[in-house]
Each structure stands twice: as structure tokens, then as C-alpha cells.
Amino acid sequence: MPSIDTLIVVGVMLLKVLIIGGALFCAPLPLTWIERKLAGRIQQRLGPHRVGPFGLLQPLADMIKMFVKEDIVPAKADSFLFKLAPILAMAPIFAIFVVVPFGPDITIPFIDYKVSLYITDMNVGIIFVLAISGLAVYGLIFGGWASNSKYAMLGGMRSTAQMISYEVAMSFAAVGVVMMSGSLSLVDIVTSQSGGFLNWNILYLPVGPLWFVIFLIAGLAEMNRIPFDMPEDEGSLAAGYHVEYSAMRFAFLSLAEYVAMVSIAVLLVVFFLGGWDNPLGSLIPILDYVPPVFWFMGKVGAFIYFFMWLRFTIPRYRYDQLMTIGWKIMIPLSLANILATGMIKIYADYRITDVLEMVGLKLW
């Protein structure tokens, strides 16, 4: 019989898993609504507005539709892999959130119990994230392969090639983050950037902004969104790897895509924008009372908005352009940037606030 303390720890852990998992499962509902509304606004339309106030119940209606539709498995498809693929696409992306810190430790009032706002603080957090997110491509390639359709096959192949190309640049960007912050744990990465936006990794001049851009572009490619949505290029591949999917399996694949978008936004915030850190530090005293989770969510929301905005602004790249950007620009650039980061780390490891203090300027 384990002691009562162990049981409480396990219970709290399970509760956190349930909350995060439930939130991620429900996240695509509002996200699809926001995306469609935003698409409408950008194209001077209204977006969904018939179901419920402002069309807010539209995603629910879509969900009901997805539930009651016939679940078709093509006759000549590899039915085991076909059914496995949506799960394989979804599970790794959910697993990323095991190491993501959403805020600092909070103490529950009255019972004085300390709860950390992450599931685990893994000391190799970044490596875990990269390893797990790389597995998500199996869902796409299995889905494309098992459908036994040439469009799905091409989509799956494209997604594999794209993921392999951009995984390298993304890993290098993660190495850059590790060098800038000096830790592999995501919690330590966030705490190393605390104290206002001048301390954030994105402003670790001169290499920070470059790492940010590399990670952003590689992330866009990793989550298969415009401008890098080659695997589901409507113009040339119908719907790419999920062309044969219907009903709930299709819903799972699109859920995986939305959660991937959230996960890239979360990683960008944790790696470069100081996670839950208050942007103005303690410059404005009243902002200290804003809960840190709010800052985290705000930054993630801003990134998600940016991704959607980007989707309805720019066209997709051609396939050879995609490969050129990946291999000929991003990877050499990130290699050179690793060198530069190393040099700076050895000879001039200063953040902007340090420089400001040296010239006698103390903001906070």
C-alpha cells in the first residue's frame, strides 16, 4: 500500500493529464471557428453565422456531422494501417505537451499544496520534444500508403520528404536555444529568460532573431500549413494523404493538424518568447497581479492568430522551392548560426539588459 502522499501526487498528475488532454481535444472546436471567421473577414465575407450566435455552434454541428457519417475503408486499402494512421498522427503531438510548462508553481490556497503547471519537468525536454514530434510523420506516411490511392501516396511521400528536410533545421534551432539558455529542460529554458522582454531568447542579439525565424519557418513546414502544405495541396493532390479518409478518422487527422499548430505555437513561446514571462517585467507594478498563465496563453493565441493570418495571405511554395529553402538556405544558415552562437557564448555572453546595466541604465 503506497503512502497517502504518493497517492496524492499520482492523483494530481492524472488530473493534470486529463485537463491538458481534454483541453487539447476540445481546442480544434474554437480554432476551426476562429479560422473560418478570420478567413471570412480577410475575404470580406462573414464566415459562419447561421448556427448559434455568430455561428459559434458551427463546430459542434460539424462534429455531429462527422460522428454520424459513414466510416469508409477503401476496399483495397491496408485496413489495419489505415485505421492505425490517425492515431499515430495524433498521439505524438499530444505527447509533446507532457513536458510543456504552462506557468510557474502555484500554491492552492487554504490547503497550502504546491502544484506545478507542467506534467513533468524532464531534464532532456527538448530532445523529447524533437524525438516525439518526428514520430508524427508516421501517421501521415501510413495514411498515405495504406489508402492505396495515388494522391494519398504522393501526399504521404511529400510529407515525409518535407519533414526530413525541415526536422534538421528545427533541431539545429533547438540546439541554438539550448546554447542560449544553457539547459535542455523546458522549465529551465523559460526561467532563464525571465525578467522582461529584453531577456527573451528572441532578443539575444545578434543570433536570437535568426534562430527564431529558422524555428518559425521549420515549424510551419513541420505542421504542414501554408505556405508549406505540400502534403495536402488541393490544387495538385485533391486532399493529399487524407483524401480517402472520412468521418471520425478524418476528424482525428484534422484534429492532429490543429493540435500540431498549437504545439508549434507553444514551443515558439517557450523557446523564444519567455514562456509565461511578463513582457514588461516589473516595470508596471499592476501587471504583477496578472497570472503568468495568462501571458503564456496570450502569446500562444497571438501565434495561432498569426499562423491563420499567414494561411490566408500567402500562396504555397512550389515543391522544388520548398526543398531549396530547406536544404540550401535553412541548414547552412543554422550551421553558421550555431558557430556564431558558440562564439558569442564564449566571448560576449551578454543579454540586452546586461549591456544596458553596463552603460548605467537600469530599467527594472
At its nearest, how many Å lie between other proteins and the CB of residue 304? 15
Contact 264, 279 (CB under 8 A): no
38 vs 238, beta carbon nearer other proteins: 38
Site membership for other proteins, residue 56 (CB under 8 A): no
Contacts of 332 (CB under 8 A, 6+ apart): none
DSSP state of 115: E
Please count the other Cβ atoms lying within 10 Å of the Cβ belonging to residue 67: 11
Contact 186, 104 (CB under 8 A): no
Torsion of CA 193, 198, 201, 202, to 10 degrees: 150
Contact 353, 363 (CB under 8 A): yes
45 vs 69, beta carbon nearer other proteins: 45
CA neighbor of 152 nearest in space, from 268, 64, 48, 74: 74
Residue from the set 312, 317, 319, 327 that interacts with other proteins by CB under 8 A: 312
242 vs 311, beta carbon nearer other proteins: 311
Site membership for other proteins, residue 42 (CB under 8 A): yes
Query: Which among 41-49, 173-181, 236-244, 270-278 is the span making contact with other proteins, rule CB under 8 A?
Result: 41-49
Interaction residues for other proteins, span 320-339 (CB under 8 A): none
Residue from the set 60, 287, 314, 336 that interacts with other proteins by CB under 8 A: 314
Query: Which among 9-17, 117-125, 305-313, 320-328 is the span making contact with other proteins, rule CB under 8 A?
Result: 305-313
151 vs 204, beta carbon nearer other proteins: 204
Residue from the set 313, 336, 342, 354 that interacts with other proteins by CB under 8 A: 313
Residue from the set 12, 34, 40, 352 that interacts with other proteins by CB under 8 A: 40
Query: Which residues lie across from 108 on neighbouring strands?
Result: 113
Site membership for other proteins, residue 309 (CB under 8 A): yes
Beta strand extents in the chain (DSSP E only): 106-108, 113-115
At its nearest, how many Å lie between other proteins and the CB of residue 314? 6
CA neighbor of 242 nearest in space, from 158, 329, 168: 158
Torsion of CA 166, 168, 170, 172, to 10 degrees: -150
User: Using omega within 30 degrees of 0 as the cis cutoff, is the peptide bond preceding 109 cis?
Assistant: no
Site membership for other proteins, residue 310 (CB under 8 A): yes
Site membership for other proteins, residue 45 (CB under 8 A): yes
Interaction residues for other proteins, span 200-259 (CB under 8 A): 213
15 vs 46, beta carbon nearer other proteins: 46
Site membership for other proteins, residue 294 (CB under 8 A): no
27 vs 310, beta carbon nearer other proteins: 310
CA neighbor of 204 nearest in space, from 102, 131, 272: 272
Residues that bind other proteins (CB under 8 A): 38, 40-46, 49, 213, 309-310, 312-314
